Chain A
Amino acid sequence: MSRKFAIAAVLALALGPAQSRADPPEQAPSAWTLDSLMAGLQQVKSASAHFVERKEMAMLTRALESTGTLSYVAPDRLEKITLTPAPETVTLNGETLSGVQANGEHYTVSLSERPEVATLVEGVRSTLAGDLPTLRRYYTVDFKGNHDDWELDLTPKNERVRDKVEAIRIKGAELVLKTIDIDERDGDRSRMTIIPDRP
């Protein structure tokens, strides 16, 4: 019970980072592909898209579906505006995560104070920014596929996050992200499908 409480307190408490373990020696991924993907993503200065997110959870009788827009401005601004079922805005700017909930409540979270939160948001942002060093700070990165159909498998390094999240899988083609899957340890899962806005 108290373990669960500890998790609940994660957000509001300044809990320190779990001891980061030494990286397992990574198999040098086909360096050419991951590096060139990252180098390519670094060139993208801004992007916007619509998304559909679907979560399947054991505690719910049906899947939760939400829709909205995503926008990214290099190097570190990412905004997620949920339109349905209830309006909500979350903005990640530098090291601050801030948001407005449907009931109008504002909140801000400092990433350096919440390593678990940082882990979750950096998975997407560092990928968009092509920032491999940051990505590797939080995840063991596994890359497969080719130029037109690639997949990044991210395994959290933070123990407390790894207890919850098995892996984040990002699939894409060229320099565009197509889906983000999150597989949780307890079997819950979510998939965000991204539909890029064509300029």
Chain B
Amino acid sequence: MTSRTDKAALILWALGLAACLALIVRTPFTTDMSAFLPSAPEPAQQVLVQQLSDGVASRLILIGLEEGSVAARAEISRRMARSLRAFDGLVLVENGDGSIGQADRDYVWQNRYLLNPDVTAARFSADGLRQALEQDLQLLSSGLEPLLKDSLAHDPTGEAIGLVHVLAGDRERRIREGVWVSADDRRTLLLAQTRAPGFDLDAQERDLDAVRGSFDAARATVDGGGDVHMTATGPGLFGVKTRAQMKHDVTIYSAIASAGIVGLLLLAYRSLLVLGLTMLPVLSGALAGLAAVSLRFGFVHGITVGFGVTLIGEAVDYAVYLFAQTREGGGTQKTIRRIWPTLRLGVLVSICGFAAMLFSSFIGFVQLGIFTIVGLIVAVCVTRFVLPTLVTARFAGTRHLSFAPALLRVAGQAHRLRPVLAAVLVCAVLWIGWRSTTLWQEELTSMSPISAEDQRIDRDLRSATGAPDVRYIVVATAPDMETLLQSAEQTSAELKGLVTRRALSGFESPDRYLPSRQTQAARRAALPDPATLRTNLSHAADGLPFRSEQFAPFLDDVERARTAPDLTRASLEGPALGLKLDSLLVRQPDMWAAVMPLRDVADPQAIAAGVTRTGQAQVTLLDLKAASDRLLHQYRFEAQTLALLGLVVIAGLLFAGFGSAVQALAVLAPLGAAVIITIAVLILGGHRLSIFNLFGLLLVVAVGSNYCLFFQRGLQAGEEGERTVSSLLLANICTVLGFGVLSLSGIPVLFGIGSTVAIGTALSLVAGAILMARTPPAEVP
């Protein structure tokens, strides 16, 4: 007995689902974490965000080999380096074995006069050359002369030796058995730089698998390799680990929660068909939500799917209200018409809550906002127009629960608890007020899901390898590359002074690999013309036993350098040094930025003052930790503002919906009480609120408002009231079960949202019952 409109609804629904499916199968899903980094921060923050997600530091994998014999570790290190250098995902593998590419050697050797900061006119005067030749003579009389003398004819002033740090990095490395080891000899060290940015977790995972694979292969084939263990660390590894743990936790806990919810609903309905139908609105909503996100963005983030489905879990409640409130033989059409106004208002309230996410700076959250809003609208429409049509013929209504009458009596007496609720509320407000200065989590790291053990390994390996400081970097910005390199040069000079004053132990700078044109010109100008150089050299060699024709190659090389074209970025195509240079330069839409990683920063104030002294307004010492904490603060402020705005809109909506302040307050009061008490509970024991708790509270408002709306209508005596109150309890148990299980996870985001929603919705139900109007009003029209 379906009407024409019902049929139309069914057809529309089926077509819609098909269209969504067709769209979704063509949609790329990404796990690129940059979607959860803000999309349009200020220019200065762009560098920060870029560094956090894509900087050199974010691309490093630090590897330590421990235990076993030094020789076995060295052999494993060599074999790993050999196989990993052939692996495409890694651009650089360092293990101290000195295997520097021929292209890099050639670049430095051939361009030594343009690259070496020591190249000055004085060095090539007769006096300067005399000094150099005397030193050369001394080198020749040393016992190591056989190793040194060959380069003298080309490079009597030793420019190439002065550039060795360009190739090797300027850190002092300890070498045992031919490979790099830590200062205490306990670890053999390797350092790899990935081609993919740190946030590209798929690529990072593949790279890490390659590292692990090469270790396993080497360990199995080296004598005594069985005792050797590998530890590794790096931002990419943390990302991959976090994602794996998140996947694991979400899978395990949602399986447990789903099993619980399904069991509970089966117990209540005693019908697989009804159970299936209960899931229909959520599934339809999820598909529509995905399709909408895909239409708007062209891709869907993995997290949007995972969390989105959790967020629209409230749609399960819609079907629960419908089925649990339908009397046996009563017919769902009648029920839906009765509860529709409440349901409709509830969905609108939820949408207002979730709409806050649409204005977020994170693309990820905007996706979540679109997903939940579209998902809820579709879910409620399916509940309203499709479910009743599907079940009218067969649905016999749900069992009458035996404890329902008692439940209704309890609900009827709940108002007696108002003084208790008031007292608890006052305590909660006082407690929150007392904690108001330490209410929020201010440090990004404290929200990190990295285990203490992993953080220890990270600290150890980082200090052992001398990898760049993860907290401080110097950033220079300029409108063009030339200006940028010039300020990098000035900053380098300043930093060099700071290194001798022990404010830091070393740094990297792009001008080391590619000097500015200005500097190249100055160095070129410092080189004398052939005739002058020849004269200077013969004066210098006067009285020294060098053969006069000995230095012909030197004269040729200097002349070649003097007339050589400028080095540009293109000169570094090929050498691995080009990759190093690229990792230190950041191209922005209308400017260039140079990133100068620092090592072992001991005195950040001195460095900050030093780089300011260079007089370059665009050079700054960036404290990534302070900056990211500031960024977090800003996002939290944004989220708070949006949440408050959402509340105002919800209040306005309720006033508009009821046309009565009293009725709107009847919904808002228990909801407000629940939120306040939830916050007080969450900060028990010195815990601080995170941005995840804030999102949890948004969900509490969205879900809890439904309960409060039903209570606001009052409970009819008899079976109808009994069914209403038991449907609310059933819906709430489903929610508490689903989210409560999530709070078992150790991952901050899951724990934060899970615990907040479980506590908050339960409190909403209780507060709604306690504050329910004592005389049931007439049926709401």
Q: Which residues of A contact B (CB under 8 A)?
A: 1-2, 4-17, 53, 55, 57-62, 64, 66, 80, 82, 85-86, 88, 90, 101-103, 110, 112-113, 115-117, 120-121, 161, 164-165, 182, 184, 188, 190
A-B contact list, 7 entries, CB within 8 Å: A9-B167, A11-B147, A16-B97, A60-B140, A61-B546, A103-B135, A113-B174
Q: Mark each residue of chain B from 541 to 554: 1 if its CB lies under 8 Å from any CB of chain A, else 0.
A: 00001110010000
Q: Which residues of B contact A11 (CB under 8 A)?
A: 144, 147-148, 161
| In the assembled complex, B440 has its CB within 8 A of some CB on chain A | no
A14 in contact with B109 given A59-B149, A86-B138, A182-B146 (CB within 8 Å): no
The 7 nearest A-B residue pairs measured at CB: A15-B98, A8-B151, A16-B97, A113-B175, A16-B178, A5-B109, A12-B164
Nearest chain A CB to B56 CB, angstrom units = 21
A80 to B142, CA, bound (A): 10
Nearest chain B CB to A58 CB, angstrom units = 8
A184 to B98, CA, bound (A): 25
- Do the beta carbons of A13 and B146 come within 8 Å of each other? no
Nearest chain B CB to A110 CB, angstrom units = 7
Interface residues of B in 110-148 (CB under 8 A from A): 110, 135, 137-138, 140-148
Q: A4, A102, A184, A188: which contacts B151 (Cβ < 8 A)? A: A4
| In the assembled complex, B150 has its CB within 8 A of some CB on chain A | yes
- Do the beta carbons of B550 and A59 come within 8 Å of each other? yes
- Do the beta carbons of B105 and A2 come within 8 Å of each other? yes
A90 in contact with B178 given A9-B164, A13-B164, A60-B546 (CB within 8 Å): no
A90 in contact with B143 given A14-B168, A59-B152, A60-B546 (CB within 8 Å): yes
| In the assembled complex, B308 has its CB within 8 A of some CB on chain A | no
Q: Which residues of B contact A7 (CB under 8 A)?
A: 147-148, 150-151
| In the assembled complex, B328 has its CB within 8 A of some CB on chain A | no
Interface size in chain B (residues, C-beta < 8 A): 48
- Do the beta carbons of A1 and B547 come within 8 Å of each other? no
A92 to B106, CA, bound (A): 33
Nearest chain A CB to B576 CB, angstrom units = 15
Q: Which residues of B contact A8 (CB under 8 A)?
A: 148, 150-151, 155, 160-161
Nearest chain A CB to B383 CB, angstrom units = 70
Q: Which residues of B contact A188 (CB under 8 A)?
A: 146, 149
| In the assembled complex, B96 has its CB within 8 A of some CB on chain A | yes
Q: Which residues of B contact A10 (CB under 8 A)?
A: 147
Q: B98, B146, B180: which contacts A165 (Cβ < 8 A)? A: B146
Q: Which residues of A contact B143 (CB under 8 A)?
A: 80, 90, 120-121
A62 in contact with B545 given A13-B167, A102-B138 (CB within 8 Å): yes
Q: A9, A17, A62, A66: which contacts B141 (Cβ < 8 A)? A: A66
A113 to B178, CA, bound (A): 7
Q: Which residues of B contact A9 (CB under 8 A)?
A: 105, 160-161, 164, 167
Interface of A (DSSP majority class): mixed
Q: Which residues of B contact A184 (CB under 8 A)?
A: 146
Of chain A, the residue at the smallest CB distance from B553 is A1
Nearest chain A CB to B551 CB, angstrom units = 9
Q: B141, B150, B154, B160: which contacts A55 (Cβ < 8 A)? A: B141
- Do the beta carbons of A90 and B142 come within 8 Å of each other? yes
Nearest chain A CB to B103 CB, angstrom units = 10
A61 to B542, CA, bound (A): 12
- Do the beta carbons of B146 and A60 come within 8 Å of each other? no
- Do the beta carbons of A64 and B141 come within 8 Å of each other? yes
Interface residues of B in 757-774 (CB under 8 A from A): none
Nearest chain A CB to B140 CB, angstrom units = 6
Interface residues of B in 150-207 (CB under 8 A from A): 150-155, 160-161, 164, 167-168, 173-180
A164 to B150, CA, bound (A): 10
Of chain B, the residue at the smallest CB distance from A165 is B146
Q: Which residues of B contact A113 (CB under 8 A)?
A: 173-175
Given A7-B151, A112-B175, output 10 extra A-B contacts at Cβ < 8 Å: A1-B154, A2-B109, A8-B161, A11-B147, A12-B161, A55-B141, A59-B153, A62-B545, A121-B143, A161-B147
Q: A4, A13, A66, A182: which contacts B154 (Cβ < 8 A)? A: A4
- Do the beta carbons of B174 and A110 come within 8 Å of each other? yes
- Do the beta carbons of A14 and B151 come within 8 Å of each other? no
Q: Which residues of B contact A85 (CB under 8 A)?
A: 141
| In the assembled complex, B100 has its CB within 8 A of some CB on chain A | yes
Of chain B, the residue at the smallest CB distance from A124 is B143
Q: A2, A64, A161: which contacts B545 (Cβ < 8 A)? A: A64
Q: Which residues of A contact B176 (CB under 8 A)?
A: 112
A169 to B155, CA, bound (A): 31
Q: B109, B144, B153, B180: which contacts A120 (Cβ < 8 A)? A: B144
> Which residue among B102, B149, B545 has the maximum number of chain A CB atoms within 10 Å of its CB?
B149
Q: Which residues of B contact A6 (CB under 8 A)?
A: 105
Q: Which residues of A contact B110 (CB under 8 A)?
A: 1-2
A184 to B147, CA, bound (A): 10
Q: Which residues of A contact B149 (CB under 8 A)?
A: 57, 59, 188
Q: Which residues of B contact A62 (CB under 8 A)?
A: 545
| In the assembled complex, B2 has its CB within 8 A of some CB on chain A | no
A16 to B147, CA, bound (A): 15
A7 to B164, CA, bound (A): 12
Q: Which residues of B contact A60 (CB under 8 A)?
A: 140, 545-547
Nearest chain A CB to B555 CB, angstrom units = 14
A121 to B155, CA, bound (A): 25
Q: Which residues of A contact B177 (CB under 8 A)?
A: 112
Q: Which residues of A contact B180 (CB under 8 A)?
A: 14
- Do the beta carbons of B141 and A13 come within 8 Å of each other? no
A165 to B150, CA, bound (A): 13
Q: Which residues of B contact A116 (CB under 8 A)?
A: 147
A110 in contact with B141 given A1-B109, A6-B105 (CB within 8 Å): no
| In the assembled complex, B99 has its CB within 8 A of some CB on chain A | yes
A102 to B138, CA, bound (A): 8
- Do the beta carbons of B100 and A13 come within 8 Å of each other? yes
> Which residue among B137, B141, B146 has the maximum number of chain A CB atoms within 10 Å of its CB?
B146
Q: Which residues of B contact A80 (CB under 8 A)?
A: 143
Q: Which residues of A contact B146 (CB under 8 A)?
A: 120, 161, 164-165, 182, 184, 188
Nearest chain A CB to B181 CB, angstrom units = 9
Nearest chain A CB to B118 CB, angstrom units = 14
Nearest chain A CB to B123 CB, angstrom units = 15
A86 to B545, CA, bound (A): 15
Of chain A, the residue at the smallest CB distance from B151 is A8
A64 in contact with B140 given A11-B148, A120-B147, A164-B147 (CB within 8 Å): yes
Q: Mark each residue of chain B from 257 to 280: 1 if its CB lies under 8 Å from any CB of chain A, else 0.
A: 000000000000000000000000
Q: Which residues of B contact A165 (CB under 8 A)?
A: 146
> Which residue among B135, B147, B150, B179 has the maximum number of chain A CB atoms within 10 Å of its CB?
B147
A88 to B143, CA, bound (A): 12
Of chain B, the residue at the smallest CB distance from A123 is B143
Q: Mark each residue of chain B from 57 to 92: 1 if its CB lies under 8 Å from any CB of chain A, else 0.
A: 000000000000000000000100000000000000
A193 to B177, CA, bound (A): 34
A13 to B582, CA, bound (A): 24
Nearest chain A CB to B538 CB, angstrom units = 14
Q: Which residues of A contact B138 (CB under 8 A)?
A: 86, 88, 101-102
- Do the beta carbons of B547 and A59 come within 8 Å of each other? yes
Q: Which residues of B contact A86 (CB under 8 A)?
A: 138
A161 to B143, CA, bound (A): 13
- Do the beta carbons of A14 and B550 come within 8 Å of each other? no
Q: Which residues of A contact B152 (CB under 8 A)?
A: 59
Of chain B, the residue at the smallest CB distance from A182 is B146
Of chain B, the residue at the smallest CB distance from A65 is B141
Q: Mark each residue of chain B from 732 to 752: 1 if its CB lies under 8 Å from any CB of chain A, else 0.
A: 000000000000000000000
A164 to B155, CA, bound (A): 19
A164 to B147, CA, bound (A): 7
Nearest chain B CB to A3 CB, angstrom units = 8
A6 to B101, CA, bound (A): 11
A14 in contact with B98 given A60-B140, A64-B140 (CB within 8 Å): yes
